[in-house]
Amino acid sequence: MAHKPTPHKPNISDMSVEEKWDRLHDFFTMDHAISYYTHKRLGTVDEWVADTVEAYGNMMGRFIGPMAEMMSKAAFKVAPNKVLKKVMDAVLNNDQMMHGPGEYEISEAKNGEMTVRFKNCLRLKKQNEIVKKCKLPFEGREICEVEKLHLTHPNHPTTKMGVVPTDITWEEGGCVWTFKVV
């Protein structure tokens, strides 16, 4: 007969939302960094990126569903600046899961183009901290390179809808992305 454990209520208190978010962000960053390192070691980064982008497409409704209606090629042709602004607002609103408030500097949409600067990037800071704590043999910026591969992949949902990064510049504490409607 198997021993039945005595019921025990652990003596824990509920974490604040901020602490939960911080721990989840650390865990996601750690898991992402380990996955990147493994794929880099095995020479399968391109396949990992392609699989990730395919999964993004399958989950698009969960993360960018409301803006998908705005992102038709016809809407971009009629009012590219207006639609691009709404799309980027929606993307940056969702991006709060990785970035802190006040990180963004956003240009006005002009000629179907918009620039977003991530200054004092929380995500880059976390990546550098986690990579160092995990003693992984690369810099946290390399994970940014993977994000670049995702967002420039021809099958990424936003690329398929006609919004592509045309210029990506790394800075000391962040980066600058220019997006264009094509």
Instruction: Quote the pLDDT of residue 63.
Output: 62
pLDDT of 70 > 60? The answer is no
Main-chain phi, psi angles of 129, to 5 degrees: -65, -50
For residues 123-132, give the mean pLDDT: 96
When comparing pLDDT for 54 and 3, which is higher? 54
130-153 average pLDDT score: 95
CA dihedral 13, 16, 20, 23 (to 10 degrees): -90
Q: How far apart are CA 143 and CA 127, in angstroms?
A: 7
10-28 pLDDT per residue, tens: 888 899 999 998 899 999 9
More confident: 158 or 48: 48
Name the more confident of 147 and 96: 147
In percent, the amount of the chain with pLDDT more than 70 equals 90
What pLDDT sits at residue 85? 85
Say what the pLDDT of residue 53 is: 93
- 15-24, 53-62, 79-88: range with highest mean pLDDT: 15-24
pLDDT at 51: 96
pLDDT class for 6, splitting at 50, 70, 90?
confident
Report which DSSP code applies to 97.
Answer: G
Burial of 152 (0-12, 13-18, 19+ CB in 10 A): middle
Q: What is the pLDDT of residue 38?
A: 98
pLDDT of 30: 97
What average pLDDT does the segment 148-171 reach? 89
